[in-house]
Amino acid sequence: MDALGYYNGNWGPLDEMTVPMNDRGNYFGDGVYDAAICANRVIFTLDEHVGRFYASARLLEIQPSCSQEELKGILNSLVQKMDNVPLLVYWQWTRGTSRRNHVFPEGPSNLMIMLKSTKIPDLSKKIKLITWEDTRFLHCNIKTLNLIPSVIAAQRAREADAHEAVLHRGDIVTECAHSNVHIIKDGVFITHPADNLILRGIARTHLLSACNRLGIPVMERAFTVAELFDADEILTSSTSTIALSADFIDNRYVGGEAPELLKAIQDEVFGEFAAATRWGQ
């Protein structure tokens, strides 16, 4: 099986699964989610992703329907039902099932899980980016289902034949439509602080740890669009892409000034993934 769905204990082929019309996710996007990549049946950084998932649920006052250990057990058991190929493992809670009403309903939350085959990224390949005004709300640190601004930005990127859209609020770069963004300048790794304007990415955290191990200075500070274009190197990071570097933004050539430092960082974070999942062995 190359794609599987799960809903409150029932599972089957993804395209055959259904969700009740009164699920709060349908009316309000009232839920939280997380996702991880899996290789050789090992879900990479599962503990960190599940921990963030519970933190998001707590911030939105969604009551978990199971413990963290129970959730990890469910996810790992579903992986065993899949073909042994790289997978994207996605899961979400919605606040529950009830007729449409803005206030919280009584009853348990709904757990939905999706697994599908994916590809492990080639970090040697460069990507293209565009810039796009960040019009999202002020709770970007919560991984909610409310993603319309990111959907629109991702569509604009696709129309421009780009991999991602770099979001900015005025002159300040925040993150991308579905990843974090970072720059390297004069040997320093710079990334927006993990405040309410960005999601604290798991891949971002591992990039910071990789820089610390390599002795590369790190600055968590806001940077501008002008600094983005002037950076020695530009990276995006996410669960599914790990750490990709860009060579064009808005059809302007960027980066390419610190290739050895860039490769050292990418090799370090990819090596962590490969060791944990036995990828390439």
- Predicted confidence at residue 280, as pLDDT, reads 83
What was the pLDDT predicted at 281?
77
Mean pLDDT of the chain: 97
- Count CA atoms closer than 13 A to 112's CA, side-chain side: 20
The pTM of the full predicted model, rounded to 2 decimals, is 0.96
For residue 26, what pLDDT band results from cuts at 50, 70 and 90? very high
Burial of 196 per CB tally in 10 Å (0-12, 13-18, 19+): exposed
Q: Which residues are catalytic?
A: 143
Dist. CA 270–CA 105, nearest whole Å: 43
Spell 249-273 as b/e; 16+ CB within 10 A means b.
beeeebbeebeebbeebbebbbebb
Between 3.40.1010.10, 3.40.50.1820, 3.10.20.30, 3.30.470.10, what CATH number should domain 3-117 receive? 3.30.470.10
**Sheet of strand 10-13, all strands in order from the earlier edge strand to the far edge:** 10-13, 3-7, 110-117, 87-94, 31-39, 42-43
Instruction: Answer whether residue 228 shows pLDDT above 90.
Output: yes
**For 170-210, what is each residue's pLDDT tens digit?**
999 999 999 999 999 999 999 999 999 999 999 999 999 99
For the cut 90, the answer to whether the pLDDT of residue 1 exceeds it is no
d(Cα 59, Cα 141) in Å, to the nearest integer? 10
Other Cβ atoms within 10 Å of 100 Cβ, number = 11
Q: Parallel, antiparallel, or unpaired for β 244-249 and 126-133?
A: parallel
Q: Note the pLDDT of residue 2.
A: 86
222, 231, 279, 217: which is closest to 85 by C-alpha?
Answer: 279
pLDDT digits (tens, 9 = 90+) for 98-137: 999 999 999 999 999 999 999 999 999 999 999 999 999 9
Looking at domain 126-277, which CATH architecture does it have?
Alpha-Beta Barrel (3.20)
**Under 8 Å between Cβ of 109 and 63:** yes
pLDDT at 4: 98
The domain spans of the chain are 3-117, 126-277
Q: Are 236 and 164 in contact (CB under 8 A)?
A: yes
- Distance set, CA 119 to CA 34, 49, 241, 242, 252 (Å): 18, 19, 9, 12, 28
Phi-psi region of 61 (alpha: psi -120 to 50; beta: other; left: phi over 0): left
